[in-house]
Structure 1
Amino acid sequence: MPYCSVGCQKLVVGCLAVGLALAARPGLAQVSLLRPGAVRPDSAAARPTPPTVLPSQLVVRLSYSPQTLFAGRDYGLRQSTTTPSLNYYHRSGAYVGVSGSLYSVSTPHYLLTDLTAGYGNLLGNNLLYNFSYDHYVFSEAGQGTLTNAGSVLLSYDVGPISLGTTYSLLFGNGQTGHRLLPSISGYKAWKNLGFIDKLFILPSLSATIGTDNIVYQVFPRKAVSKVTKAKKPAKAGQPVDMELTSFGLMSWNLALPVKVRIGNFTAGATYNYIIPIQLAHESADAGFSNKSFISLTASYAF
């Protein structure tokens, strides 16, 4: 077996309730990629019963999270993320959008632009499906490895409960990653509460299942042996990169969003509790303590 030491580069692939890591490199800015496939916010997500034809909308949104995580991992870096976005949803179910991510302690602060397109709709009264493609544009060369994502979402309603799963294939620069997000969620709404048109909660429990690709620096045994046996100081050969891939459960994610809608304006706060799970070959430095925080969002539909 070669002599190995953990190198300075990690390629982490996996999604959680608030983010997805695609090239998390300790010591450099770490980027979380949000979503897969977004369904119509605050409307399709709430699944009107019986189904109604939603109007075409242009939605401006601003989201804030006090923690930036990658499948529950923070890699020792505590920073917040602010995400403005602009999305157009056609009444047919097709949509396009663009969003940006600003990080509180990274340099530069603006690192990521996400271009997305997709289609989502209902089959019958209970089955929601969504197909989406995302392309990630990084502001610094080399910040991102997996720059594309294709996602499929299926969700089935049983009364106020929804059972769903999302699969994403991430790819770019000759590498691929996989992410699976099974979930169970609920929906409860109250209408016409004074000046509030609707108050609703959407609690959910989900699991993050994905691949974690770790790059090690490997010194060949022969080179190390020569240095060890030499009577005079000698230089070892150059290390060789070796990549190990693990696939498994990466985190449990509990979310409790509470939202209010007043006319075309929607605002909400979400309590998040995340339990990261350490995979084989992962260093404890990735940060596996449980995380608890509140994220905020506001949107306006035209």
Structure 2
Amino acid sequence: MNANPATQSPARVDMFAAFRGLWRLHWQRQLAWKRLAVQFGLMGFFIFLSWHAIPSAEFHSPKMAQDVFFGWVIGFYFLTIVPLTCLNVCGSMVREEAAANTLCFFTTRPLKRSEMFLLFYLGNAAWLQLLFAIFTVLLFGIGFLHGIPGLMKLLPLMLATQFLAIMAWSALCAMLGMAHPRYIVVGILYGLLVEIGIANIPTNIHNLALSHHIQTLLSTHSEVELMFNWTPGSMPIALLCLGAATMIFLLLGAALFTWRELLPAQAAPEN
């Protein structure tokens, strides 16, 4: 009779099934009526402000109305509201679970911690993509109703650039959330120093800023380029840098999540 215990083969995990399960939990949390009421309330308030902030081309110069639309939708909404929302959502994605003492439920599953971090990121990024795609279409709908010219050409470019930007910003913010409990303060300082400061330096160092590459993509629309006075760059380089930055931030965030053990008391944000 063999006294040796039977060896068990390691469990094999279907990553797609794991993502579906995590997405289902995330979807249920986002669709909770209190959170949904807050999100749609803020969305409705911003749409209301946008309706009154964007002038009608019927009563104003079409060029002036177009410039105001670009400044509101690209300068304020896309380059300010969207990254700050990514910072709030993805920066807290792990710390929120740890603070609620539910992170142990995920880390005891037969998944590597790096894989779990990636699933957290994909779930939150997918929700942000859906939310801001709807938001952008609504804002462009206001522009169409106000007679803003040139929007049919800009909308697909805006949606494609927004997709890449949200993936990169979400990866950066997820990494910052793992790096420091004051991730919102750190993220705002990073944005001021890198995404605004370094991005406007007219040397190759501006390639370190995600916003520079986002501006390069949007500058393919000639009227946007003229309105913001952005220097057009190379689209392939911009795409390569955004993709590489997303991967680097994800690797750093996954490494921090693998090496660090967040306890509920340590995970509470100190913003």
Q: TM-score when scaled to structure 1?
A: 0.23
| Larger strand proportion of the pair | 1
Q: TM-score when scaled to structure 2?
A: 0.25
**Which protein has greater RCO, CA pairs closer than 8 Å, 6+ apart?**
2
